[in-house]
Chain A
Amino acid sequence: MVNQLMQKKIKSICVIIILTVLLSGCWDARELSDIAIATALGVDKEGDQILVSAQILNPGEIAGNTISTRTAVSTYQAKGSTFFEAIRKLTTIAPRRIYLAHLRMIILGEEFARGGVADVLDFISRDHEMRTDFNFAIARENTAENVVQVLTPLEKIPANKIFGNLQAAEESWAGVSAVKLDELIASMTSKGKEASVTGLWVIGDPEFGTQLENVEASLSPTEIKTDFIGVFKNDRFVDWLNEEQSKTLNRIKNKVKNTISWVPCDDGGKVAIEVFKTHANVSGSMKKGIPKINVDVKSEANVGDVACALNLTKPKELRKLESKFEKSIEEEMKTSIKKIQEMGTDVFGFGEVIHRASPKEWKKVKGQWNEIFANELEVKVNVKIKIRRTGTINQSFLKEIEEKRKQGE
């Protein structure tokens, strides 16, 4: 009896020992001190090789309380025949293995983007460490390595600054667009849509931006600015849109959350409104081989900035102002769409609209859609604006000042 009990005890101890070995779950455990967290990757072309610049966090600088003279991030670079090889080659100079799950930005050099980005996208969607929640951007008239190296004030991690910058600008300026991996691939593979990615400018001397001095000044001499949108044809970058065109693109893609626009007043000066709600309804049809697109934009706005003598106490004046804005935005959108049509790449996704509206007709034209988009597509734009409020004051005091000045004369 006692023997049996002993046996049972020994058995269960054996099981526990085996379980602790098997179930510890630390087969490929990597401690924070063993990994180098990459926050941004820059991709450039050098000859027929790919140059990867990785922005790696310096954890001690971010979490520590002691102030040192080191930078919060370090950049490591490696070249390889493929993107994957280049990333692995980073380990030859970085002290730890690169960890990609916390990536915030992938920055493509303009030269590189012109040559096609599909190969890089394949690795990004194939690798298990890569998630889909980081943004893409193109280094405008620059290489990605220069952008990755710039240190930024306020946000210690430059990648975070760009990421937050994109988010903020998308929400309250509308000239940029934060594009994520699945959207990018979806628009590159779709026959009725082309991709568009925001541009990053380096203002000032990129060389100086890599030094800590850059963030010591109150007005940093070198800064990264997000503006304008670059358009793609297939996976190749083609051209930059200007400000109006970028805004138009975002309006049609329903990405505008908040933006401002202005018109001149009748008697000189300007008046600006804050558009806080915009919804674009894009409908299309294709009859007898003629594609047509209708864009209906409905916006709600507040008067934000009056720099002329405008009578804001009469509803009639407000209606007049509304129609003025409607005309101005309509005009802006129409010319922008024309210009983008001339570029010959359908970044709006009008092809997909036609596809949904008349699938049978679409089959005949999907092969040469970009040509049809450039030459034959008729786009009608209709803007409706409703001005709701005038901010915290009604009548502007500018009128009184104006009158006083006139009296003085």
Chain B
Amino acid sequence: MIEKGKIGVRQFTVLVLMYTLGTAVIILPSLTASYAHANAWITMVIAMLIGIGIVFMLNCVISIDWKKNLFELSEHILGKWVGKAVSVLFLTYILLLTATNLRQIGEFITTQVTVETPIQFVMFIFMMTSLIGVRLGLEVIGRTSEIFFPYAFTSLILLLILVAPEADFRNVQPVLQEDIGGTFLAVIPTLTTPYLELFIFLAIFPYVHRFKPAKKAFYIGVIIGSVILTLITLMCLAVLGPDFTARQIFPSYILGKKISLANFLERIEILVAIAWFFTIFFKITLNFYVLNLGMSHFFNLKSTKTLSTPLAFIIIIMGIILFTDIIYYNEFVAYYAPYYSATIGILLPMLLLLVGFIRKKKKKSKVG
């Protein structure tokens, strides 16, 4: 085994939760509202239900042999060569995903927070932090997530509570009367982030202390994350209105700007940014970690650290050249990413499950 560290079940839950919130908390409200309008929160609920189904499927895959991570598993089930080929598909996807996430946090900071700082700089600093995390290993990542989780979580809950007085629920009425097509259609891009990206946890599973509670933790993390996502979408709709939400690029940040308690507690939208910094940091770090892990398996290296530094720089460059502009990026997320993610996040794990199941049966019949 390349990774010798172990993480606890609670750390695993926190990581799943942070990963679910990651990019979704700041981009999903606008994405869903632009298709589903006032019903965007229903889209989120539907996506959550399907997401739980995806988690169930992933849990089945890892149950084939939970001592092996995603890459070992694919070689184990599909044989050395096909397995390696499938690993390459996983790895390219994770590479692109990490670069995209890095670009997202860069875009956010350069449009909303520090406008004149070059995006390359923001991305560089974020990636370096992740690099340090990966070089220190999974155990450290797990522990850090436990430390930072309360900050991210309280910021989001505070946002929900403080903005509640501004909510006008007439904005979300009539419920499910219009744009019904859009409501269901929007589920597809909503699934992409975060649910179709959850397969990367198949690579983390073997390093969790106990397997059975970890399976449950996977559900808990995803469900809590989805509920927060749904509530934030609902608040965006109720406070800003569906139209205004759809027009914003980062609506939950604008939601933070609406906080105004007694003309005193104001201008604290950076609360949202803090929550997002933490969640997306762990998303990038986990993606990057799994990428390193997979690469080491692919090239038969001894340590996850070997390729980490060059990979970090490749990701920074990729993040810059992947998307020419923000409109191209939005189109990619809404129209093209779902198919790619569905192939990697559902089809491939299904393939593993199916082949693994058939092999098990064959083995049994042979023994019998």
User: What residues of chain A have their CB less than 8 Å away from a CB belonging to chain B?
Assistant: 22-23, 25, 27-28, 125, 128, 131-133, 182, 185-186, 189-190, 352, 355-356, 359-360, 363
User: What residues of chain B have their CB less than 8 Å away from a CB belonging to chain A?
Assistant: 111-112, 114-118, 121, 125, 170, 173-174, 177-178, 240-241, 243-244, 247, 254, 257-258, 260, 266-267
A185 close to B244 (CB less than 8 A): yes
B240 close to A128 (CB less than 8 A): no
Bound-state CA distance A25–B258 (Å) is: 26
Contacts of B254 in A (CB 8 A): 132
B257 close to A132 (CB less than 8 A): yes
Quote the shortest CB–CB distance from B84 to chain A (angstroms): 38
Closest 7 CB pairs of A and B: A28-B116, A359-B177, A27-B117, A186-B241, A356-B173, A359-B174, A356-B174
Bound-state CA distance A185–B245 (Å) is: 12
Contacts of B170 in A (CB 8 A): 352, 356
Q: Which of A23, A27, A133, A182 contacts B116 (CB 8 A)?
A: A27
What residue of chain B has the Cβ atom nearest to residue A131's Cβ? B257
B115 close to A128 (CB less than 8 A): yes
Bound-state CA distance A35–B85 (Å) is: 58
Q: Which of B114, B115, B241, B260 contacts A133 (CB 8 A)?
A: B260
Of the A-B pairs whose beta carbons lie under 8 Å apart in the complex, a sample of 12, sorted by A's number, is A23-B125, A27-B121, A128-B112, A132-B254, A132-B258, A186-B241, A189-B243, A352-B170, A356-B173, A356-B174, A359-B177, A363-B178
Bound-state CA distance A186–B177 (Å) is: 20
B240 close to A182 (CB less than 8 A): yes
What residue of chain A has the Cβ atom nearest to residue B247's Cβ? A125
A128 close to B111 (CB less than 8 A): yes
Quote the shortest CB–CB distance from A14 to chain B (angstroms): 15
Which has the most chain B C-beta neighbours within 10 Å: A128, A352, A363? Answer: A128
Quote the shortest CB–CB distance from B322 to chain A (angstroms): 23
Quote the shortest CB–CB distance from A394 to chain B (angstroms): 36
Bound-state CA distance A355–B115 (Å) is: 41
Which has the most chain B C-beta neighbours within 10 Å: A22, A131, A182, A356? Answer: A182
Bound-state CA distance A23–B247 (Å) is: 33
A22 close to B116 (CB less than 8 A): no
Quote the shortest CB–CB distance from A242 to chain B (angstroms): 28
Contacts of B112 in A (CB 8 A): 128
Bound-state CA distance A25–B109 (Å) is: 13
Bound-state CA distance A128–B257 (Å) is: 12
What residue of chain A has the Cβ atom nearest to residue B260's Cβ? A133
Contacts of B111 in A (CB 8 A): 128
What residue of chain A has the Cβ atom nearest to residue B254's Cβ? A132
Bound-state CA distance A25–B114 (Å) is: 9
Quote the shortest CB–CB distance from B152 to chain A (angstroms): 21
Bound-state CA distance A7–B118 (Å) is: 33
B244 close to A27 (CB less than 8 A): no
- The prevalent SS among residues of A at the interface is helix
Bound-state CA distance A67–B117 (Å) is: 40
What residue of chain A has the Cβ atom nearest to residue B118's Cβ? A27
Contacts of A128 in B (CB 8 A): 111-112, 115
What residue of chain B has the Cβ atom nearest to residue A129's Cβ? B115
Contacts of B116 in A (CB 8 A): 27-28
Q: Which of B117, B177, B247 contacts A360 (CB 8 A)?
A: B177
Quote the shortest CB–CB distance from A200 to chain B (angstroms): 22
Quote the shortest CB–CB distance from B6 to chain A (angstroms): 30
Bound-state CA distance A363–B177 (Å) is: 11
A27 close to B257 (CB less than 8 A): no
Quote the shortest CB–CB distance from A17 to chain B (angstroms): 15
What 10 additional pairs, Cβ within 8 angstroms, besides A22-B125, A132-B254, A356-B173?
A: A22-B121, A25-B114, A28-B117, A125-B247, A128-B112, A131-B257, A132-B258, A182-B241, A185-B243, A360-B177
What residue of chain B has the Cβ atom nearest to residue A23's Cβ? B125
What residue of chain B has the Cβ atom nearest to residue A101's Cβ? B267
What residue of chain A has the Cβ atom nearest to residue B112's Cβ? A128
What residue of chain A has the Cβ atom nearest to residue B239's Cβ? A182
What residue of chain A has the Cβ atom nearest to residue B177's Cβ? A359
Quote the shortest CB–CB distance from A192 to chain B (angstroms): 11
A133 close to B266 (CB less than 8 A): yes
Contacts of A131 in B (CB 8 A): 257, 267
Q: Which of B174, B243, B258, B267 contacts A186 (CB 8 A)?
A: B243
Contacts of B240 in A (CB 8 A): 182
Bound-state CA distance A359–B258 (Å) is: 29
Contacts of B247 in A (CB 8 A): 125
B114 close to A28 (CB less than 8 A): yes
A133 close to B257 (CB less than 8 A): yes
What residue of chain B has the Cβ atom nearest to residue A180's Cβ? B258
A182 close to B114 (CB less than 8 A): no
What residue of chain B has the Cβ atom nearest to residue A186's Cβ? B241
A28 close to B115 (CB less than 8 A): yes
Bound-state CA distance A27–B109 (Å) is: 13
Bound-state CA distance A25–B116 (Å) is: 11
Quote the shortest CB–CB distance from A174 to chain B (angstroms): 20
Bound-state CA distance A362–B254 (Å) is: 31
Bound-state CA distance A25–B174 (Å) is: 47
Bound-state CA distance A179–B213 (Å) is: 53
Contacts of A23 in B (CB 8 A): 125
Bound-state CA distance A142–B351 (Å) is: 72
Bound-state CA distance A190–B116 (Å) is: 35
Contacts of A27 in B (CB 8 A): 114, 116-118, 121
Quote the shortest CB–CB distance from B28 to chain A (angstroms): 20
Contacts of A359 in B (CB 8 A): 174, 177-178
Given the known inter-chain contacts A132-B258, A133-B266, please indicate yes or no for A190 contacting B177, CB distance below 8 A.
no
Bound-state CA distance A356–B170 (Å) is: 8
Bound-state CA distance A182–B241 (Å) is: 8
What residue of chain B has the Cβ atom nearest to residue A189's Cβ? B243
Contacts of B244 in A (CB 8 A): 182, 185-186
Which has the most chain A C-beta neighbours within 10 Å: B125, B241, B260? Answer: B241
Contacts of B243 in A (CB 8 A): 185-186, 189-190
Contacts of A133 in B (CB 8 A): 257, 260, 266
Contacts of B241 in A (CB 8 A): 182, 186
Quote the shortest CB–CB distance from B166 to chain A (angstroms): 10
Contacts of B267 in A (CB 8 A): 131
Quote the shortest CB–CB distance from B38 to chain A (angstroms): 10
